[in-house]
Copies of this chain bind each other. A is one copy, B any other.
Amino acid sequence: MQIAILLYPRITALDAIGPYEVLARIPDAELVFVGQRTGEIRTDTGLLGLTVDRTLDETPNPDVVVVPGGAGQFDLMADEPLHDWLRAVDAGSTWTTSVCTGGLLLAAAGVLKGHRATTHWLAMDELERYGVTPVRERVVQDGKYMTAAGVSAGIDMALTLVDRITGPLMAKIIQLAVEYDPHPPFDAGSPDTAPRRVVELLRSRRESVLQGK
């Protein structure tokens, strides 16, 4: 089983690394970081370099594809070669997945059309313009499509995916290995529970939060 995680300049690191840390632990899985060019890309903050090991052309048939989000994706919303690759790999994949606004990129490529999906809470409305039904849940599965909410939700998605791929025992082994027993210090991770002031502040900075502008 080959798992391809897409990287591109100005990605949000945790969108990719959360799923990586879980999925790389599936026995006998071959996980590879792919992108338009091999070599280093810098993340959305500019503060971290991640390595693309293989080009899209070299990765034509992954079984699982993971599309993370990040400010740089907004330069890729009409990138035909990338969209062609997404459609081609989706045609042969067992699972096509996204984290955060990576769901918008999959949607823009036409892959999620007619399906239920989720994305970052600030971007939820945008799914509709691509014919996708937005669902406000942490992880949404619709057939072979699995999409996660913002950034950190990729960890929950990846554990759910391990359950679907190999069953609950392996998912629990990996969850305990990475000690995923979250205790956030505040109950502020959802717009439903965060203080209104915090929600409004992020809404007012929506462009910079999502697109790094």
Contact = CB atoms under 8 A, between A and B. Distances in A.
A12 B25 CA distance: 12
Interface in A176-192: 176-186, 188-191
Interface stretch (A16-24, A56-64, A76-84, A87-95): A16-24
A186 B209 contact: no
A152 interface: yes
A27 to B, nearest CB: 12
Interface residues of A, number: 65
A135 interface: no
Interface string A164-198: 00001101110111111111111011110111011
Contacts of A188: 171-172, 175-176
A21 B31 contact: no
A49 interface: yes
B20 A33 contact: no
Given A48-B20, A159-B185, A175-B189, A180 B151 contact: yes
Nearest to A121: B179
Interface of A: 12-14, 17-18, 20-21, 24-25, 31-33, 40, 45, 47-51, 53, 100, 120-121, 138-139, 149-153, 155-156, 159-160, 163, 168-169, 171-173, 175-186, 188-191, 193-195, 197-199, 201-202, 209
24 contacts: A14-B17, A20-B47, A24-B48, A33-B49, A40-B49, A40-B51, A49-B50, A49-B51, A50-B51, A51-B51, A152-B155, A152-B178, A153-B181, A155-B182, A156-B183, A159-B185, A160-B185, A163-B185, A171-B185, A171-B188, A172-B188, A172-B195, A176-B190, A180-B182
7 pairs of A and B residues whose beta carbons are closest in the complex: A49-B51, A150-B179, A181-B189, A172-B188, A182-B182, A14-B21, A151-B178
Given A175-B184, A176-B190, A181-B189, 9 more contacts: A17-B48, A51-B51, A100-B179, A150-B177, A152-B179, A155-B182, A175-B186, A178-B189, A182-B189
